[in-house]
């Protein structure tokens, strides 16, 4: 049996739309083409945006398309203790610190250094609180990106996860403290060689927010490791998150999966189709038609037939294109 484990991880902020079906189908096809397992994770760690019952509804939508996970979905809101353990491990190793900066204070600090230009609307944090909260009480926790994290042993986690399980993080040697000069490198199975200097492009990013919610970056890394995810197939808009997640994997002594980022479905305004720019919920009265439309976005040829026949044909096409 293949050791491949993939996943689809939607946020339950609304029903699946055409763009999210592309990501779901791609991750399912990749798992089936490799003879592996396919999991679903409901990423409701940001409680302020999630809708009650939407996770269950999304799972039903997937089932209507013939995309059924190989074990019950994992729900992030049941995983707070695991995220807290990960944060504590980073703090113990000197890799995370409390931050008392407001957004306005960050903007002012950047302006003083002449580097206040936002990056896609996100401010590059300059590390103001690395030596202690700069102003007031700590409101968030951040990862130090100025420390070189390398040569750390990996903790291979080879078991399925239940909601009551927790990760035991390995004992790691102290990180090197020289400046992190080299960018983070990785190979995307579709886009090719990728790199990013996280310290320069993002800065010390948030692990736990001021409102008490754990950040996406920390939660996704902890859960991918705990579920033994070997391959992450997701939309191209998330490519920019990969370097941050690799840094966190290294800092926690966790394995790095392979990555494949898929083409995006664009809205009428030319931007990524999303719930934020008015994406309509999937019309699943004809699930084969919805699957074929998603297949076109992935560069696959549509096929007539039953759900099972269409998925089998698309799996064969995917295997010849993306599965070595």
CA nearest 195: which of 257, 242, 153, 130?
A: 242
Q: Which two tokens stand for residue 174?
A: 């102290």
Who has greater pLDDT, 86 or 324?
A: 86
Q: pLDDT tens across 10-57, in order?
A: 999 999 988 899 999 999 999 999 999 999 999 999 888 888 999 999
Position 265 scores a pLDDT of 80
State the average pLDDT for the chain. 85
Q: Which residue has the higher pLDDT, 268 or 52?
A: 52
CB neighbour class for 92 (10 Å; exposed up to 12, middle 13-18, buried from 19): exposed
pLDDT at 119: 53
Provide, rounded to the nearest whole percent, the portion of the chain with pLDDT above 70.
Answer: 79
Gap between the Cα atoms of 324 and 314, Å rounded: 16
Helix 242-252 and helix 80-92, axial crossing angle in degrees, nearest 10: 70
Residue 275: its pLDDT value, please? 60
For 279, other C-beta atoms within 10 Å of its C-beta total 19
Per-residue pLDDT for 246 more than 80? yes
Burial of 320 (0-12, 13-18, 19+ CB in 10 A): exposed
Residue-level pLDDT at 3: 93
Order the strands of the 74-75 sheet from edge to edge.
5-8, 37-42, 74-75
User: Lowest-pLDDT range, 30-34, 58-62, 81-85, 111-115?
Assistant: 111-115
| Widest distance between CA atoms in the chain | 63
Average pLDDT of span 244-262: 95
pLDDT greater than 50 at residue 151: no
DSSP-derived 3-state class of residue 167: coil
311 pLDDT more than 90: yes
Alpha-carbon distance values, 190 to 14, 126, 253, 261, 299 (Å): 28, 33, 26, 7, 12
Q: Which helix (H) or strand (E) holds 106?
A: helix 103-112
Structural element, H or E, at residue 221: helix 216-226
- 162 pLDDT above the threshold of 90: no
Token code pair at residue 120: 């896609």
Stretch 116-130: mean pLDDT, rounded?
72
């Amino acid at each position: 049996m293949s050791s491949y484990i993939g996943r689809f991880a939607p946020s339950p902020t609304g029903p699946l739309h055409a763009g999210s079906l592309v990501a779901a189908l791609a991750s399912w096809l990749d798992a089936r083409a490799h003879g592996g397992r396919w999991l679903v994770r409901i990423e409701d760690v940001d409680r302020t945006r999630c809708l009650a019952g939407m996770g269950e509804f999304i799972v039903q939508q997937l089932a209507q398309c013939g995309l059924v996970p190989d074990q019950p979905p994992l729900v992030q809101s049941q995983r707070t203790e695991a995220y807290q353990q990960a944060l504590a491990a980073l703090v113990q190793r000197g890799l995370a610190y409390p931050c008392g900066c407001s957004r306005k204070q960050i903007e002012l600090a950047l302006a003083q250094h002449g580097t206040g230009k936002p990056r896609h609307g996100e401010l590059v944090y300059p590390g103001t609180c690395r030596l202690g909260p700069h102003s007031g009480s700590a409101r968030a926790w951040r990862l130090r990106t100025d420390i070189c994290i390398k040569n750390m042993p990996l903790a291979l986690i080879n078991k399925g996860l239940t909601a009551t399980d927790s990760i035991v993080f390995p004992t790691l040697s102290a990180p090197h403290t020289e400046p992190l000069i080299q960018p983070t490198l990785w190979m995307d199975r579709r886009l090719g060689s990728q790199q990013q200097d996280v310290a320069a492009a993002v800065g010390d990013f948030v692990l736990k927010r001021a409102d008490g919610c754990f950040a996406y970056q920390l939660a996704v890394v902890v859960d991918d490791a705990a579920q033994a995810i070997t391959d992450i197939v997701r939309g191209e808009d998330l490519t920019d998150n990969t370097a941050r997640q690799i840094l966190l994997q290294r800092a926690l002594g966790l394995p790095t999966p392979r990555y494949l980022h898929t083409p995006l479905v664009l809205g009428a305004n030319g931007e990524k189709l999303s719930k934020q720019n008015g994406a309509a919920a999937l019309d699943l009265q004809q699930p084969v038609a919805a699957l074929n439309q998603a297949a076109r976005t992935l560069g696959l040829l549509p096929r007539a037939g039953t759900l099972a026949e269409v998925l089998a044909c698309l799996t064969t096409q995917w295997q010849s294109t993306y599965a070595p």
